[in-house]
Amino acid sequence: MLRILQEHSTQQKFTILLALKLSSFFLILIFHHVKANIFIYSGCSQEKYQPNSPFETNLNTLLSLAVNSASQALYNSFALGNDTSSSSSEGSIFGLYQCRGDLKTSDCSTCIASAISQVNLVCPYTYGALLQLDSCMIRYEHTDFLGKPDSSLRYKKCSKSVGNDAEFLKRRDDVLADVQNAIGFRVSTSGLVEGYVECVGDLSQADCSSCLADAVLQLKSLCGSSEAADVFLAQCYARYWASGYSESSDSSNDDQAGKTVAIIVGSVAGVAVLIVLLSFCRKAAG
């Protein structure tokens, strides 16, 4: 009888240790995934649609199409419910997704799935939404915006200034001059400065060049001699940073939506780990 109890106790300890290891592994995977898809910014329309409306049906279809398409292509656009001559019919919706130009399609699909889950939290029941992660973005509207030039500023972030560091500023300007001539996506480095730019896939070459020129101009104007800077316009963006730069020293209180999403995702991860642990413990006790 004592031997049986000892064996049961040993098995129970082994099961609990296994549960802890699996839970830790699961948690690491979740937070690695979150880190790989860092929230940049979002925008939501003021108008709301009703649940179970034609718009919601088409929106769900569009988001499903985006995830499936992202496993095969880094960019695609969609138009649903616009069969009539009026593009403002009740169920009409236009949308697109885009992944950063250096991503694999498997990573693109994962990023878009993450963006969709977040946009549903940040912009519930809105007729229009845009959510930008570090590696991808998703956007949809009730009216047609596809292929129409728009250089309005959506988001900027400027780090601390490097002052009058002539060498750094020259390297930065070299990088920005190089990437400004991109067609779509381009990465450039000069010394310790790195950067990249990208246009949305539905822009023509001329419109892309114009958008990037505007983004670079605003980057310099708004962020001056910042060690790192991001400027996102409606249809393109430009980013640069000094090698070794860490965002932790420049964290601000402005990205409330991003913090909210991170808290929600973290809470879900914690609950999931707890469920796994309790499940193993119950089996061990049984």
d(CA 274, CA 41): 30
d(CA 94, CA 110): 22
At residue 81, does pLDDT exceed 70?
Answer: yes
Residue 30 falls inside a structural domain: no
Residue 66 falls inside a structural domain: yes
Residue 122, CA distances (Å) to 17, 41, 129, 234 in order? 37, 10, 9, 18
d(CA 43, CA 31): 24
Cβ atoms of 91 and 54 within 8 Å: the answer is yes
Which pLDDT value is given to residue 250? 52
pLDDT band at residue 24 using 50, 70 and 90 as cut-offs: very low
Sequence-distant (≥ 6) Cβ neighbours of residue 1 within 8 angstroms: none
What digits encode the pLDDT tens for the residues 99-125?
A: 999 999 999 999 999 999 999 999 999
Total domains in the chain come to 2
Q: Which of 35-49, 78-92, 192-206 has the lowest mean pLDDT?
A: 78-92
Q: Euclidean distance between the first and final Cα of the chain, in Å?
A: 17
Query: What residues make up the domain containing 178?
Result: 153-248
Kindly state whether residues 184 and 228 are assigned to the same domain: yes
98, β-bridge pairs? 75, 137
Which pLDDT value is given to residue 182? 86
Kindly state whether residues 69 and 163 are assigned to the same domain: no
Kindly state whether residues 164 and 105 are assigned to the same domain: no
Kindly state whether residues 162 and 227 are assigned to the same domain: yes
d(CA 197, CA 184): 8
d(CA 71, CA 69): 5
* Domain closes at, from 95, 122, 146: 146
Closest CA to 100 of 136, 154, 138: 136
d(CA 253, CA 274): 30
Residue 6 falls inside a structural domain: no
Kindly state whether residues 110 and 161 are assigned to the same domain: no
Residue 80 belongs to domain with CATH number? 3.30.430.20
Which pLDDT value is given to residue 209? 93
What digits encode the pLDDT tens for the residues 204-230?
A: 999 999 999 999 999 999 999 999 999
Residue 89 falls inside a structural domain: yes
* Domain closes at, from 120, 146, 172: 146
Kindly state whether residues 128 and 195 are assigned to the same domain: no
Residue 13 falls inside a structural domain: no
Which pLDDT value is given to residue 149? 87
Kindly state whether residues 140 and 163 are assigned to the same domain: no
Which pLDDT value is given to residue 247? 58
Compute, in degrees rounded to 10, the torsion defined by CA atoms 136, 142, 147, 148. Answer: -120
Residue 173, CA distances (Å) to 119, 161, 231, 240, 254 in order? 35, 15, 15, 10, 27
Residue 158 falls inside a structural domain: yes
Which pLDDT value is given to residue 283? 53
Kindly state whether residues 103 and 193 are assigned to the same domain: no
Residue 26 falls inside a structural domain: no
Which pLDDT value is given to residue 257? 46
Other C-beta atoms within 10 Å of 157: how many? Answer: 20
What digits encode the pLDDT tens for the residues 249-273?
A: 454 444 444 444 444 444 444 444 3
Kindly state whether residues 223 and 202 are assigned to the same domain: yes
Average confidence (pLDDT) over 240-244 = 87
Kindly state whether residues 45 and 116 are assigned to the same domain: yes
Helix ranges restricted to H, the chain: 2-36, 54-70, 105-122, 166-179, 205-223, 256-285
d(CA 254, CA 105): 32
Kindly state whether residues 63 and 130 are assigned to the same domain: yes
Residue 3 falls inside a structural domain: no
* Domain closes at, from 119, 146, 173: 146
Kindly state whether residues 85 and 136 are assigned to the same domain: yes
pLDDT band at residue 89 using 50, 70 and 90 as cut-offs: confident
